[in-house]
Amino acid sequence: MDPVSVFRHREWLVALLVPLALLWWTWRRRGAALVLPVDHAERPARPWTQGLLRCAESLPALALALAVLLLAGPQSWGAPRDKRQLSNIQFCVDVSGSMTAGFGSGTRYDASMEAINGFLDYREGDAFGLTFFGNAVLHWVPLTTDVSAFRCAPPFMTPGRIPYWFGGTEIGKALLACQDVLVQREEGDRMIILISDGYSADLSGGRDQEIARSLAEDGIIVYAVHISTGSVPDAVVRIAAQTGGEVFSPEDTAGLEAIFATIDQMAKAKIEKSLLEAADDYRPYSIVGLALLGLLLLASFGLRYTPW
């Protein structure tokens, strides 16, 4: 549908009565009669000459009408556009010593970071954060739509090169730390992608239920990737289920990549219709106005009314 033209200051449109009155007067007036010797001579009738002169005399009134329309603030309605709703995704990656175990052609850590970087490629427009954890938690990349820092992260946090206090696995502490980051974002969905290969003692004694309830209350969904040959800890399964997420256990690097593709499909980006917005639309009126001024300038050199 073509955009419908509107005016921001419609009260100015009343002033169009002035150029309309000028046009009426230009075409209806007879002018002052003046007797010339040629009036009694035979000459051919040329009605087109009078019409051409009237058109030339109408140019100032038309230019005034265009000026009134410009003062009224012409606008046009743009077509509604789909807007992608932002998703805030916090990666929570285990860097304990067990993540150095072989997985594919590298280690579990290497495969995890490679899969994360691949996941970023088809989630353009979302905000991503990166948290490393062991017995301590380190927020390496804050939530951002600029993912260049992710590309540089793997070499710096390779398990075995980090301080000894990252050696264990405290998933509960890491999830709560990620929750603190996500609740600061008021816009968009909230999601944690947990990548770990071990059991966490800080989820026992009903602690997993408390953490799951707290995450769910803040609208945070947890997807867990258990990158190990062992069984998935029940506590992690309960947290993912109660927050609306799911747990995956890849067998190889191809399976890990497929898991991230599945998460992308499960956590589809939401599209919302944006409202129509009016924007200033002076261009067509300005073009017509310049054309009228040009014709008026040309007419002033010869096409004008003279009473003699």
Interhelix angle 207-217/171-182, rounded to 10 degrees, is: 10
pLDDT of residue 1: 39
Burial 37-68 (b: 16+ CB within 10 A, else e): eeeeeeeeeeeeeeeebeebbbbbbbbbbbbb
pLDDT of residue 195: 93
pLDDT of residue 308: 45
Domain boundaries, the chain: 5-78+279-299, 86-269
Q: Which of 199, 116, 198 is nearest to 157 (CA)?
A: 116
Question: Percentage of residues in the chain with pLDDT exceeding 90?
Answer: 22
Q: Which residues in the chain show pLDDT less than 50?
A: 1-4, 307-308
Q: How far is CA 242 from CA 235, 239, 271, in A?
A: 11, 5, 25
Q: What is the pLDDT of residues 264-291, one digit of tens each?
A: 776 665 555 555 566 777 888 888 888 8
pLDDT of residue 241: 93
pLDDT of residue 301: 76
Per the confidence metrics, is the pTM higher than 0.75? Answer: no
Q: What is the pLDDT of residues 291-307, one digit of tens each?
A: 888 888 888 776 555 54
pLDDT of residue 115: 87
CATH number of this structure's domain 86-269: 3.40.50.410
pLDDT of residue 16: 87
